[in-house]
């Protein structure tokens, strides 16, 4: 199904306006919508990535959304995210997102966590190029890896992370674009280098 980014954004803004009438305005706080990384993947060859679903690592029992080997994209505990490894930092897109942008990031993370998307070590985001729309909707993704979760969320809303001028948007349907975001062309560790460090401390 083709996804219209503008309509999705308007729908969310509309729901936020309704919330303003009924209660206090919701705006992202703490580290919601930011990417987090830790080391220790493939004998410390690279890192692992996730998106903050909550303001802090201690806000709830499952504050992050990520993709891991043998599992679907899902919410998880901070301990499972760290897995005994070293925390490497909280990162954001280079263009500073507003609190509304971060609300959108969080919303998309939740959408991905409800699509039963399996793990894929080879591609950031894998989908059928012949059946996906111009923009790859979350329901059209068959598998993705951890840095794909981050890249898809940010680039769906136009915040470039990795890639050349032609194929940087991992959410745009393209055989060559899908391939551009595969293998070791980009890894969770190198992905962090295309983002801006917010803090190297655990977000608590």
Instruction: Provide the CATH number for the domain around residue 168.
Output: 3.90.1720
Reference 48, options 153, 200, 192; nearest CA is 192
Token output for 183: 């293998």
CA distances for 19 relative to 16, 104, 175, angstroms: 5, 15, 40
159 falls within a domain:
yes
Least confident interval from 14-18, 27-31, 191-195: 14-18
Q: Give pLDDT tens digits for 151-174.
A: 999 999 999 999 999 999 999 999
Number of domains in the chain: 1
204 falls within a domain:
no
Q: Are 65 and 114 in contact (CB under 8 A)?
A: no
Mean pLDDT throughout 84-94? 98
Confidence of residue 27 (pLDDT cuts 50, 70, 90): confident
125 falls within a domain:
yes
- The domain of 173 spans 5-199
Global confidence as pTM = 0.88
Task: Give the model's pLDDT for residue 6.
Answer: 52
Three-state SS sequence of 11-61: HHHHHHHHHHHHCCCCCCCCCCCCEEEEEEECCCCEEEEEEECCCCCCCCC
Helix (H) or strand (E) holding 66: strand 64-66
Confidence of residue 30 (pLDDT cuts 50, 70, 90): very high
Burial (CB < 10 A; 0-12, 13-18, 19+), residue 194, is: middle
Residue 165 DSSP one-character state: T
Q: Give pLDDT tens digits for 90-110.
A: 999 999 999 999 999 999 999
């Amino acid at each position: 199904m083709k996804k219209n980014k503008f309509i999705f954004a308007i729908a969310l803004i509309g729901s936020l306006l309704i919330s303003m009438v009924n209660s206090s305005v919701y705006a992202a706080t703490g580290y919601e919508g930011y990417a987090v990384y830790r080391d220790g993947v493939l004998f410390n060859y690279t890192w692992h990535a996730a998106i903050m679903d909550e303001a802090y690592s201690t806000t709830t029992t499952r504050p992050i959304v990520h993709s891991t080997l043998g599992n679907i994209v899902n919410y998880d505990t901070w301990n499972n995210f760290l897995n005994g490894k070293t925390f490497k930092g909280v990162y954001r897109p280079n263009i500073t997102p507003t609190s509304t942008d971060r609300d959108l990031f969080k919303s998309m993370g939740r959408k991905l966590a409800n699509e039963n998307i399996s793990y894929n070590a080879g591609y950031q985001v894998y989908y059928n190029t012949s059946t996906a729309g111009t923009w790859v909707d979350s329901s059209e993704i068959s598998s993705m890896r951890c840095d794909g979760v981050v890249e898809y969320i940010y680039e769906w809303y136009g915040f470039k992370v990795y890639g050349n001028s032609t194929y940087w948007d991992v959410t745009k349907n393209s055989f060559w674009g899908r391939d551009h975001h595969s293998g070791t062309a980009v890894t969770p560790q190198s992905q962090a280098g295309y983002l801006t460090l917010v803090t190297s401390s655990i977000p608590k």
